[in-house]
Amino acid sequence: MADNKDQNLDVNYWRSFEELNGDVKSLKLKHDEFHEGVTEDFDPEKNLSGISRRKFLALVGASAALAGAGCSDYREKGEIVAYNKKPEEIVIGKANYYSSTCSSCSLACGILIKTREGRPIKIDGNPDHPINKGKICAKGQASILNLYDPSRYQRPTKGNFGFRNDIDWKTVDKEIKNILTTNDGKEIAIVLHKVNSPTAIKVLEEFKNKYPTLKFYYYDLFDDGAKLSAFRKTHGVAALPVIKFEDAKIILALEGDFLGVDGNKLEQGRKFAERRDVDDTKNFSRVYSVEGNLSITGMNSDYRLRLSPVHQYEFVASLLNELILKRNIGGIALDGVAREVVSSVSLDSFASKHDLDKNVLKSLADDLANHRSDVLVFAGSILNEETHILVNLLNEVLGNSKLFSTTEINENLHEYSSKTEIENLVQSMKNGNVKLLIHFDSNPVYHLSKDFDYENALKNVANTVTLCIEENETAALSNYVLPINHNFESWGDASVRNGLFSLLQPVISPLYDTRQKEAILLHWMNDNVDNFDDKQYLNFLKNNWMTNVYPKINSPLTFDRYWNISLHDGVSQAKNKSQINYQFNRAALNSINKPKVSGNYCLTLTENLNIADGRFANNGWLQELPHPISKVTWDNYAAISHQTGKKINLKINDLVEISVHGKTKIFPVVLQPGLANNFINIELGFGRTHCPVIAADVGVNANHLLSKENFGSSNLYDNVTIKKVDGKGTVVTTQEHHNYDEALIQEAHKKRFIIIEGTVNQYLKDPKFVQTRPRHTLKNINKEHEYKDVKWAMSIDLNKCIGCGDCVVGCNVENNIPIVGKDQVGRGREMQWLRIDRYYSGTPENPKINVQPMLCQHCDQAPCENVCPVVATTHSPDGLNQMIYNRCVGTRYCSNNCPYKVRRFNFFNFRDNLKNSYYEQDSISLLHNPEVTVRSRGVMEKCTFCIQRIMDAREEVTRSGIKLKGTDVKTACQEACNTNAIKFGDMNDLESEINRYRNHDLGYVVLEDTNVRPNVTYIAKLRNSHSEEM
Amino acid sequence: MSIVDYRHELPVVEGRLTARQIEEIIVKPLGEKPDKKYFIALAISLTALGIGAVSVLWLLLKGTGIWGLNQPVGWAFDITNFVFWVGIGHAGTLISAILFLLRQKWRTGIARFAEAMTIFAVMTALIFPILHTGRPWLAGYLMPYPNQHQLWVNFTSPLVWDVFAVSTYFIVSFVFWYVGLIPDFATLRDRATSQLKKILYTVFSLGWRNSHRNWQHYEKAYMLLAGFATPLVLSVHTIVSFDFAVSIIPGWHTTIFPPYFVAGAIFSGFAMVVTVLIFVRKIFNMEEMITMNTLEKMNKIMLATGLMVGYAYSMEFFIAWYSGNPFEQFIFLNRALGPYAWAYWIMVSCNVLSPQLFWFKKIRRSIPAMFVISILINIGMWFERYVIVVSSLHRDYLPSSWGYFVPTIYDFGVLIGSFGLFFTLVILFTKALPVISISEVKAVADNAQPSHHGGNH
C-alpha cells in the first residue's frame, strides 16, 4: 500500500507515446482538464450540434430555471421594497386626503382626493366647498379612472394623418417656438372650451400679448347661450344669478332639468332635497314639470305635463295670459309685442290643443297665483331665447326676486365665440391664413356642426397642435399631439362664482412624459425654450393669486400662510361680496317674436349625464352606469313616446333614420314612457370615431345632426323627420327586460309593496298609512340572534333619492367593481353592487315614476346564508351579511335564493374579458382600493356595507380605547349621495338618526312577507299633490 | 282482442328457451367482433362526447360566462341536466330493487340494463354539480374533510345533502349492480377462451363456484342490498328536490316537490330504459327475454307516473291559488302565460298528454308508438326541470331584477356532451358485459323451477 501511494504521488504516468515524447499537442491536451469541445463557450452562430455536453447541461439547467422563474407565481414578480426612508406625510395603510378642484366639467366643484401610499384612489366632494358641500357627481368620482386610463398618450408625437412618430418635448418646443416667432402676420388660433380658471385666462392673455396675431375661439357642445342672452336682455347682466331652490315653495320646470344637466345638479339637488324632509312635510316644495323629454327633474316632480319644447313659448305666454289678463296679477301693464303675444293665447285653448290635463293646469295656475313670490319658474337652457325672455317676464310678474341671489352669481370669465367668429376661423384656415392652430384640450372636429366644415379646413393648416390627454378626432388630424397632465397631476385654480376661488393641486407626479396644458403655453412664452421648468406654472399661479386673488379676499394672514391655508382648504372665499342689482328691462319684450312651429317632429340633442360631451366616453364606469331613466348603458338612442312608436310601428331596437335639415343619421329606437308625442330626444357624446378602445363602437354620433338651422338654441330642432329603416340596433338595458304594458305585471311594484308611496296630505291626515297597510308577519321557529353591540343598518329616503346614480359610481370606485362591457350587460351580468331600480306606474303616456336604490339588504335571516354549501356567506356579530371570497366555489345558489337579486357573480374574470384585457393593464392596478379584494372569476360578490370602512373605524376606536359609534362610519354610497337620502349607522343606538328612521311612520322594508328581516329601511315617498289620493 | 288466459302466469321468457340457449343469446355479443353498425353508433356518441369535452374545456378556461346564465337566472341548463340525469337513473333502482322485493319476475330481463343505465346516468349527472360551480377546481370544498383552517361544510345547505345523497346513491347502485354480476362473471369465466378474458373474469367473479353456499350468501346479500337501495329510490330525488323546495323562491318553495320529483324521476327513467331497450332487444335478438309483455308493463308504469306528475302540475296551480300568496300566484300564471309559456306547454303536452295514449293496449304494445312516446317523455321531463329551474328564477320578487335566459352554443354543447357520455358508456357496456342477467333469467325461465305439474305452473 505504501508503495502504491508513493507511486501515485511521484510518478508521471504516460498515456501515449506522444505524451511520453513530449508532443506539444498532447501536452496541451493533458494540461486542459477537459477535451476540446467539452468546455468551449456557447456561440449560437456556430453549429449547435457542436455544443458541449457541459454546455448542454448548463443550458438545460438554465432553461429549466428560466421556465421555472418565468412561469412562477405572480406574487414573486419583481421586488417589493419598503420605504426605507419613510416620507414624512405617508403612514402606510393610512389614507391622505388632498383638496383640489374637479375639472370634469366647467362647474369646478371642490373635491377631496383620497390617496394611499402616494396614489390617488378615490374622489369625494370637498365639504368646505360652498357650492357642492362635500358631494361630487358621478363624472367627478369616475374621473379617477381617466387618470389611470391605459390609453393615455404617454409622450408627444408628430406626424401626418396616421403616420405618427414619437418626438421629444425639446424638439416640439423648438419647432413651435419657431412657428410662433415667425413674423408673417398670419393668425395663431387657440380653440378651447369654457375656461373657469382665472390664472389660465391670465396665461392665455399674456400669450396673446406676446404673440399679437393670436385669437381665441371658445365653444362648448352644451352652453346656456340662449338663457344667458335672454337674461342679458331682460336684466342687463351677462351672468345668471344663483337660484335659491330651497326657498321656493312651488317650482315650475319648463324643459328644465335642474336635478340633472341644467346648472349645478349637486347644489340644486341638495337644495331641492332640503324641502323634501319627511319630518317637515308642511314645508315640502311642489314641483311641476312641463317637458317633452323625460328628465330626472320630471321623474321627481309632483305633477308632470308632456309638452314638446317648441311649444313652450306658447305655453308660457298662455300662463302669462292667465295670470296677467285673467287674474290681474303682477301689476305689469303689457304693451306692444308682449301684449299681442300674451293676449293671443289662453291656457284653456292651449290645453285643448296639446291635450294637457286641465285639472293640473288649473292647480298650477292657482299655485302660481296664490304663492307668487314663492314660485320659481325654471326654464331649461335648451329652450330658445324668446321663451327665456317670456319666462323671465313670468318670474317678474310673480315678483319672486327673493329667490334669485343678489350676492352670488355664476360668473363667466370669458364669452363664447359667436358662430360668425368660428366661421371666420374656418375661412382663414381654408385660406391658409392660420399658421398655427392650437386645440387647447378641445375636440372641435368631433363637436362642431358639419356646417362649419372644420375638418376639411383643418387640412389647410400647416401646423396643428392638439393638447389632449388621449386619442380624439381632432388629435388624429393634427401634426403635433402633445399629451397633457390629468387634473390630478396639475396645478390650477377656478372661479365660477363671484368672490369664490378654488385651487387644484397635483396629488401624484405625472405618470407619463406629459405636461400641464397651461405650462406648455407658458413655456412657449419663454425666450429660451431649452429647459422646461415644471415649477413655472406653479409660480405663475402663486403670483397671480398674490396680485389678484389675495387682495380680494381681504385675509388678515400673510400671503404665504394664506396660500397654504387655501391649498389645504381647496377653496377661498371673499367675506364681503358686492351686491349685484338687476332690474327687469321691459324693452327686451320687443324682441319676443313668436317662433314658427312646424307640424313635424321636434328633436332635442341633450347632454348625457354620464359621459358629457364625449370626453368621458373612454370611462368604463360611466359608460356602464345606467341612464337614470331608460337604464340603457353603453349607448345612445332615439327616444320617442309609445304613441309615436305605435304610429310609425316601432319597437325597441328598431332603426330609424332621422333627418334634420338635410342631415341624416340612423339611430336605434327606445320607446320611452312619458315622452311628448312627435318628439325625439337623442343624447350626444357617443359614436366617437378616433378614440381609445372603451369608447370605440359605442353609440351613434348625433353631433352629425347639429345644424345651424336650429330652433333658436343650438341643441333644439324643429321640422325633423323620422323614418323607419331596416335593421336592428343593439341597445341594452339593465332593467325592464319585459314589456311595460303586460297586464300581468303592471303595477307589480305597488301590489308587492316594493314601492310604497302616498301624498303629503294623506300623510298629514293619517301618519300611519304606511304601517297600516295589509301585512303578513310570520313567526320564527328558531330563536333569534341577539345583537348586543353595534348593529349596522341603513335607511334610504325615497323622498330625497332622485335616482341620479352618483352613489353607484361611488360604490364602484370604493369597491373595485369590474366593468363588464356592453355584451355582458346585454346578458344581464352587470356587476354594480348597488343599482337604482326605476318603476313606472300609470299609463305609458303619463307614467308616475319611482326610483329605489337596491343593494344587499343584510337580512337578519338572510336566505343566501343557509343555502351556501361551503359557508362562504355568513353573518357577522354586528349584523352584516358577509362574503368570504376565498371560500366561495360559485354555486350561485345564494344569488338564486336572494329575493332582492342583489348578489353579483363573476361569470368571467371580467377585467380580462373586456376588450382584450383592457382593464387588466398595469396602470389600472394603481387604481384599486387596496382595502378591498379584487375578486376573481367564479366568485359571488355583493354590497358589504363598506366593511373596510367599518373595520377602519373599529381599529381607530380600539386604538383610542373608546366605543364604536354608528356615526363613525360612512358608506361610499352615503358619501356620494348628494341629497343625503342614504343614512347609515348603529340601529342599537337609540339616540341615533338611523334608529329614528328605522322606526319612522313612513319606514318600511321591502318584501316584508318573506320574513328575511332586512336591515335596509326605505322611507315611503310622498308626492305633494293637492289631493290625498295619488 | 285476444282473450287472456288468467289461469297461467304470462311466461317471463318466451319461446321455451333452454338454459343453454339463454346463455348463448346473452353471451353472444361479448364474443363477437363489433360490426360496422356498432362503430357507427359509437362514432356518433363519441362525437357528441367530443362536443361536450370541447365545451367543458372552454368552460374551464374561460368561466361560467360562456353559458347563457345571468342575474337573476343563476342556474339553467347545468342544474336542469343534473336533475334530468339523476332522474333517469331512478328507473334502474326501482326495477332492480323495489321490483325485486315485490317478487316481480318480469324485471329480470331488464334489470341489468336498467341498473347499468342508473350508474351511467348518475355518472353523467355528477359532472354537472362540479361543472356548474364558478371554480370547479375547488369543488372539493363541498366535502366535509378535516383541515387546518377548521373549515366545515354547511349542513343546512341542500347542496351538501345532494353531495351525500347522490354519492351514496352511486356507491350503493354500483355495489348492487356488481354483486348481481358476480354469478354472470363466473359463467363468462367458465366460457372464456382467451387467457386475458379468463384472468379478468376470474378476478371479477371473486372465486364464485356456483356452490350452494355461494348461492345462499349471494341471495342474502342481494336481498339486503335491494332493501338498502329501495329507500334510495325515494330519498335521492327527494333531496334533489330540496335544492328547490328549501329555497324561498316562489315556484321552488313547494312542499309537493319530493313526491312529485320521485314520480317524475321514475317516469323519465322508464322512458329512457324503454327507448334504449327497444334497440337492444332487436339488435341482440333478445325479444324472447325482453318481451313485449315486459315493455307493456313498463308502459303502464309510465302511464301511472305520468298521471302523477300531471296531478302535481295541477296541484301546484291549485295551491298557488289556494294559498293566496300573490308571488306564488304570479309565478304560476307567468309559467303558463309568460315568456317561458312555450317551455311549459311543451312540458305539459309531452308529459301529461302523450302518455295518455298508453290507455290503448295496441299502442302499449306497438314498438314505434312506444318509441315516439318515450322520446317525447324524455323531452318533456327535461323541459319539466327547465321550467322549474329557469321560469321560477327569471321573474321572482322584484320586477326590476327580472331577466330572460338565452342559452349559448356551450349550453347545448355540454347538454349534447352529456348524452354523448351516457350513450358511449351504454354502447361500450353492451359489448363488455352481459346486458341481461344470465343467472336470473335462467331462474325464471320455463322449466327452471321443476314442479309436479310439468313445469308450466
- Write the residue in A870, A890, A897 that is nearest to B154 by C-beta: A870
Looking at the fold, whether A900 and A947 belong to one and the same domain comes out as yes
Instruction: Using a CB–CB cutoff of 8 Å, tell me whether A899 touches chain B.
Output: yes
Grid coordinates in use for A647? 304610429
Looking at the fold, whether A756 and A661 belong to one and the same domain comes out as no
Query: What residue of B is the nearest CA neighbor of A900?
Result: B398
Looking at the fold, whether A724 and A756 belong to one and the same domain comes out as no
> A903, B142: Cβ pair inside 8 Å?
no
Contact indicator for A326, A345 with CB cutoff of 8 Å: no
* Distance, CA of A651 to CA of A720 (rounded, Å): 20
* DSSP H/E element including A758: strand A757-759
Show residues of chain B in contact with A897, CB under 8 Å.
247-249
Residue A423 three-state SS: helix
Quick one: average pLDDT of A879-897?
A: 94
Residue A33 three-state SS: coil
Q: What is the pLDDT of residue B457?
A: 46
Please, is A445 exposed, middle or buried when counting C-beta atoms within 10 Å of its C-beta (0-12, 13-18, 19+)?
Answer: buried
Show residues of chain B in contact with A781, CB under 8 Å.
none
Q: What is the pLDDT of residue A659?
A: 94
- Write the residue in B65, B400, B403 that is nearest to A839 by C-beta: B400
Residue ranges of the domains in chain B?
Answer: 34-444
* DSSP H/E element including A998: helix A993-998
Looking at the fold, whether A685 and A811 belong to one and the same domain comes out as no
Strand locations in A81-186, DSSP E? Answer: 95-101, 110-116, 119-125, 157-160, 163-166
pLDDT digit string, tens, across residues A506-528 = 999 999 999 999 999 999 999 88
**Helices A312-320 and A336-343 sit at what angle, rounded to 10 degrees?**
100
Looking at the fold, whether A901 and A812 belong to one and the same domain comes out as yes
Long-range CB pairs of A991-995, under 8 A, 24+ apart, other chains included = A992/A966, A992/A967, A993/A967, A994/A793, A994/A794, A994/A795, A994/A966
pLDDT digit string, tens, across residues A79-100 = 666 677 777 888 888 899 999 9
By C-alpha distance, which of A589, A600, A728 is closest to A659?
Answer: A600
Task: Return the number of other C-beta atoms located less than 10 Å from residue A582's C-beta.
Answer: 17
Residue A377: pLDDT band (50, 70, 90) is very high
Instruction: Using a CB–CB cutoff of 8 Å, tell me whether A744 touches chain B.
Output: yes
Q: What is the pLDDT of residue A7?
A: 47
Show residues of chain A in contact with B404, CB under 8 Å.
737-738, 828
Q: State the Cα angle at A10 between A8 and A14, rounded to 5°.
A: 75
**Is residue A703 in a domain?**
yes
Quick one: average pLDDT of B189-216?
A: 92
Contact indicator for B233, B90 with CB cutoff of 8 Å: yes
CA neighbours closer than 13 Å in the CB half-sphere of residue A883: 27
Residue A1023: pLDDT band (50, 70, 90) is very high
Q: Is the dihedral of CA B376, B379, B382, B385 positive or negative?
A: negative
Looking at the fold, whether A766 and A695 belong to one and the same domain comes out as no
Instruction: Using a CB–CB cutoff of 8 Å, tell me whether A904 touches chain B.
Output: yes
Strand partners, A114: A97, A122
CATH code assigned at A277? 3.40.228.10
> A892, B69: Cβ pair inside 8 Å?
yes
Looking at A712, A733, A754, which one is the last position of a domain? Answer: A733
Looking at the fold, whether A847 and A910 belong to one and the same domain comes out as yes
* Distance, CA of A1010 to CA of A1012 (rounded, Å): 5
Helical H runs in A253-321? 265-274, 296-299, 312-320
Looking at A60, A76, A93, which one is the last position of a domain? Answer: A60
Quick one: average pLDDT of B57-83?
A: 94
Portion 1003-1022 of A in contact with B at CB < 8 A: 1006-1007, 1009-1010, 1012
Q: What is the pLDDT of residue A71?
A: 57
> A904, B71: Cβ pair inside 8 Å?
yes
Strand partners, A728: A654
pLDDT digit string, tens, across residues B240-278 = 999 999 999 999 999 999 999 999 999 999 999 999 999
Grid coordinates in use for A981? 337620502
* Distance, CA of A703 to CA of A697 (rounded, Å): 15
* DSSP H/E element including A287: strand A286-291
Smallest CA–CA distance, residue A963 to chain B, in Å, is: 31
Quick one: average pLDDT of B129-142?
A: 93
How far, CA to CA in Å, does A767 sit from each of A669, A758, B193? 43, 10, 94
Residue A915: pLDDT band (50, 70, 90) is confident
Looking at the fold, whether A885 and A848 belong to one and the same domain comes out as yes
Query: What pTM does this model have?
Result: 0.89
By C-alpha distance, which of B257, B256, B243, B246 is closest to A863?
Answer: B246
- Write the residue in A869, A900, A905 that is nearest to B154 by C-beta: A869
* Distance, CA of B102 to CA of A938 (rounded, Å): 48
Contact indicator for A618, A470 with CB cutoff of 8 Å: yes
Tell me A89's DSSP state. Answer: T
**Is residue A393 in a domain?**
yes
Task: Return the number of other C-beta atoms located less than 10 Å from residue A705's C-beta.
Answer: 25
Total residues found in chain A within this entry: 1030
ipTM of the complex as predicted: 0.93
Smallest CA–CA distance, residue A750 to chain B, in Å, is: 11
Residue A840 three-state SS: strand
* Distance, CA of B244 to CA of B96 (rounded, Å): 28
Res A1008 pLDDT > 50? yes
Quick one: average pLDDT of A596-622?
A: 92
3-state helix, strand, coil in chain A (%, to 5): 35, 20, 45
The whole domain housing A38 covers 2-60
Contacts of B277 (CB under 8 A, 6+ apart): B110, B113, B290, B295
**Is residue A783 in a domain?**
no
Q: Which CATH superfamily is domain B34-444 in?
A: Formate dehydrogenase/DMSO reductase domain (1.20.1630.10)
For residue A668, cis peptide bond before it (omega within 30 degrees of 0): no
Residue A163 three-state SS: strand
**Is residue A1007 in a domain?**
yes
Looking at the fold, whether A824 and A719 belong to one and the same domain comes out as no
Residue A555: pLDDT band (50, 70, 90) is confident
pLDDT digit string, tens, across residues B313-343 = 999 999 999 988 889 999 999 999 989 999 9
Average model confidence (pLDDT) across chain B: 91
Looking at the fold, whether A602 and A684 belong to one and the same domain comes out as yes
Instruction: Using a CB–CB cutoff of 8 Å, tell me whether A839 touches chain B.
Output: yes
Q: What is the pLDDT of residue B455?
A: 46
* Distance, CA of A718 to CA of A707 (rounded, Å): 11
pLDDT digit string, tens, across residues A58-72 = 777 777 776 665 555
Contacts of A64 (CB under 8 A, 6+ apart): none
**Is residue A748 in a domain?**
yes
- Write the residue in A744, A900, A1012 that is nearest to B334 by C-beta: A744
Show residues of chain A in contact with B160, CB under 8 Å.
869
Count: domains in chain A: 4
Q: What is the 3-state secondary structure (H, E, C) of chain B?
A: CCCCCCCCCCCCCCCCCCHHHHHHHHHHHHHCCCCHHHHHHHHHHHHHHHHHHHHHHHHHHHCHHHCCCCCCCCCCHHHHHHHHHHHHHHHHHHHHHHHHHCCCHHHHHHHHHHHHHHHHHHHHHHHHHHHCCCCHHHHHHHCCCCCCCCCCCCCCCHHHHHHHHHHHHHHHHHHHHHHHHHHHHHHHHHHCCCHHHHHHHHHHCCCCCCCHHHHHHHHHHHHHHHHHHHHHHHHHHHHHHHHHHCCCCCCCCCCCHHHHHHHHHHHHHHHHHHHHHHHHHHHCCCCCCCCHHHHHHHHHHHHHHHHHHHHHHHHHHHHHHHHCCHHHHHHHHHHHHCCCHHHHHHHHHHHHHHHHHHHCHHHHCCHHHHHHHHHHHHHHHHHHHHHHHHHHHHCCCCHHHCCCCCCCHHHHHHHHHHHHHHHHHHHHHHHHCCCCCHHHHHHHCCCCCCCCCCCCC
Q: What is the largest CA-CA distance in chain B?
A: 78
Looking at the fold, whether A690 and A758 belong to one and the same domain comes out as no
Q: What is the pLDDT of residue A2?
A: 44
Contact indicator for B187, B208 with CB cutoff of 8 Å: no
Q: What is the pLDDT of residue A595?
A: 84
Smallest CA–CA distance, residue B352 to chain A, in Å, is: 26
Q: What is the pLDDT of residue A579?
A: 82
Q: What is the pLDDT of residue A577?
A: 77
Smallest CA–CA distance, residue B311 to chain A, in Å, is: 25
Smallest CA–CA distance, residue A791 to chain B, in Å, is: 24
Looking at the fold, whether A729 and A758 belong to one and the same domain comes out as no
pLDDT digit string, tens, across residues A737-776 = 666 667 778 888 888 999 999 999 999 999 999 999 988 8
Residue A676: pLDDT band (50, 70, 90) is very high
Strand partners, A190: A216, A438
**Is residue A262 in a domain?**
yes
Res A470 pLDDT > 70? yes
Res A45 pLDDT > 80? no
pLDDT digit string, tens, across residues A473-494 = 999 999 999 999 999 999 999 9
Q: What is the pLDDT of residue A270?
A: 95
Show residues of chain A in contact with B396, CB under 8 Å.
899, 901
By C-alpha distance, which of A705, A143, A718 is closest to A447?
Answer: A705
Grid coordinates in use for B429? 357496456
* Distance, CA of A925 to CA of B427 (rounded, Å): 53
CATH code assigned at A918? 3.30.70.20
**Is residue A114 in a domain?**
no
Smallest CA–CA distance, residue A896 to chain B, in Å, is: 6
**Helices B292-323 and B326-337 sit at what angle, rounded to 10 degrees?**
130
Give which of B60, B70, B71, B388 to mutate to test A binding, by max A Cβ within 10 Å.
B71
| Region of residue A198 (phi > 0: left; psi between -120 and 50: alpha; otherwise: beta) | alpha
By C-alpha distance, which of A1013, A1020, A997 is closest to A777?
Answer: A1013
Chain centroid, CA B211 distance in Å: 34
Smallest CA–CA distance, residue B229 to chain A, in Å, is: 26
pLDDT digit string, tens, across residues A265-274 = 999 999 999 9
Strand partners, A604: A681, A716
CA neighbours closer than 13 Å in the CB half-sphere of residue A660: 28
pLDDT digit string, tens, across residues A651-671 = 889 999 999 988 999 999 999
Looking at A348, A380, A403, which one is the last position of a domain? Answer: A403
pLDDT digit string, tens, across residues B348-359 = 999 999 999 999
**Is residue A177 in a domain?**
no
Total beta-carbon pairs less than 8 A apart between chain A and chain B: 183
Smallest CA–CA distance, residue A908 to chain B, in Å, is: 5
Show residues of chain B in contact with A908, CB under 8 Å.
62-65
